[in-house]
Amino acid sequence: MYGDGMEDLEQLKKDLEKQTRQAAERLDQLKYLQADFDNFRKWNAKEKDAITAMANERLIHDLLVVLDDFERALPSLETEKNKEGMQMVYKKLIKILSEYGLEPIECVGRKFDPNTHEALCREPCGQETNTILEDLGKGYRLKSKVIRPSKVKIAEQVTGEKGD
């Protein structure tokens, strides 16, 4: 009888070790699963933000045509009342777009940068080469991304020497 008790105790110890090992394995699996879920949640949030940003960018890019039309139409309005009303609508549109991160690219007097400007022509003059002389088509950034480069006229420095 004494032998049966010791064997039972040994068997219980073995079963306890086995159950403890399985519990530790399950806990590790649970930790990995939790980490995977957290990573998925973060990835999903980033993906959602990226899709929203892309949709906003497309919409704002399409609205730039309307903004251009406003800029061309405002100087030609004849009555002061019409002009004032259109300027209010134009300013409201600019304000809304700027709240989404749209900003014009300033360029006149600055150095030509192919990342933000598109050179349409050069003009010989006394200014330093590649200085922007005129903004021919306004460019815009959405947050820090250029969504439409400025179309510009750049300087080509005239030297006193004539070619042969």
Amino acid at the residue 52: T
> Do residues 155 and 121 touch, judged by C-beta distance below 8 A?
no
Mean pLDDT, contiguous 10-residue spans, the chain (164 residues): 73 93 95 95 93 88 88 80 83 91 92 93 88 92 92 84 50
Query: Given CA atoms 42, 48, 51, 56 in this order, what sign does their dihedral have?
Result: negative
Query: Given CA atoms 120, 126, 130, 136 in this order, what sign does their dihedral have?
Result: negative
- pLDDT value for 164: 42
State pLDDT tens for residues 12-56.
Answer: 999 999 999 999 999 999 999 999 999 999 999 999 998 988 888
